[in-house]
């Protein structure tokens, strides 16, 4: 069975940064696949290079770009 794919929004926030660290460790252990969803232009420098990053515009949640950004996610946090 392959690990679940978890999308994380808010990786730069106070809580989100802590969640990012925990989820990154789980990905390293092979327990999840992590995808960081971020606003276009936001800093992703704190996201490890082995974690997939996808830009997402939450103001256009009914468009094809949004659908592509969340495609394949099992969980969104």
pLDDT in tens, the chain (77 residues): 789 999 999 999 999 999 999 999 999 999 999 999 999 999 999 999 999 999 998 887 778 888 899 999 999 99
Q: Is 9 helix (H, G, I), strand (E, B) or coil?
A: strand
CB hemisphere CA count around 12 (13 angstroms): 8
| Phi, psi dihedral angles at 36 (to 5 degrees) | -95, 120
Residue 54: beta bridge partners? 37
Q: What local confidence, expressed as pLDDT, does residue 75 receive? A: 97
pLDDT of amino acid 65: 86
Dist CA 37 CA 54 (whole Å): 5
Secondary structure of residue 17 in the 3-state scheme:
helix
pLDDT of residue 64: 87
pLDDT of 36: 98
């Amino acid at each position: 069975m392959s690990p679940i794919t978890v999308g994380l929004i808010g990786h730069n926030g106070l809580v989100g940064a802590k969640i990012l660290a925990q989820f990154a460790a789980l990905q390293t252990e092979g327990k999840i696949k992590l995808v960081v969803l971020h606003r276009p232009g936001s800093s992703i420098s704190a996201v490890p290079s082995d974690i997939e990053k996808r830009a997402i515009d939450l103001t256009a949640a009914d468009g094809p770009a949004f659908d592509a950004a969340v495609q394949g996610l099992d969980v969104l946090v």
